[in-house]
Amino acid sequence: MLDLDAPILPGRGAAGIHLGDRLEDVLRASAGLFTEARVGNACLCDPWSTSVFRSASVDLSHRDGRVSQITVHNGYRGRLRGAVGLGSTPAEIARAIGPWEEVDADVYGIACLPGFAFGVAGWFVTAAHPGLRTAPIREIAVFAPDELGEPGGSSESGESGARDGAP
């Protein structure tokens, strides 16, 4: 069932898995590829998930027996709109898709694309740090933005904080 070349579909799915799929069905079809890790706040964009099922390249968060977030990493080859994937940079996102913004500490989203978030290699004190633009993406998460908050949406102040990748 796991397809490491499947496209990344914000708010819908990745790795051939769809948000809302029954977790039990996904785990059965994946024949032992996943192991469960029970930790609080385990997921990039789903703070309500109490555990995550991890594999070498895909992690699954869940609530109520359904997949609520899919995070891809380590060797996943699928791309977003054929242009952005693991190893891409925030500067490449800005050129290919649109402005990006920090939505939580070290979690970034694309301003016009709810249901998509990414993390980069390294740690940056602020989103304005010049090295952040060229830091490679190390993980990408897709989730249902209406259920989990909306990375890529506006902040409470009404300002999006979107960045075009410029220092």
Q: Check which CATH number belongs to the domain holding 129 and give it.
A: 2.60.460.10
The reply to whether 54 falls in a domain is yes
The reply to whether 118 falls in a domain is yes
The reply to whether 162 falls in a domain is no
Global pTM value: 0.83
**Residue numbers of the domain that contains 31:** 1-147
Cα dihedral: 85, 90, 92, 95 (round 10): 130
**pLDDT by position in tens, the chain (length 167):** 799 999 999 999 999 999 999 999 999 999 889 999 876 554 555 566 678 899 999 999 998 899 999 999 999 999 999 999 999 999 999 999 999 999 888 899 998 899 999 999 988 878 888 899 999 999 999 998 875 444 433 333 333 344 444 33
The reply to whether 152 falls in a domain is no
Cα dihedral: 17, 18, 19, 20 (round 10): -110
pLDDT, one tens digit per residue, over 74-97 is: 999 999 999 999 999 999 999 999
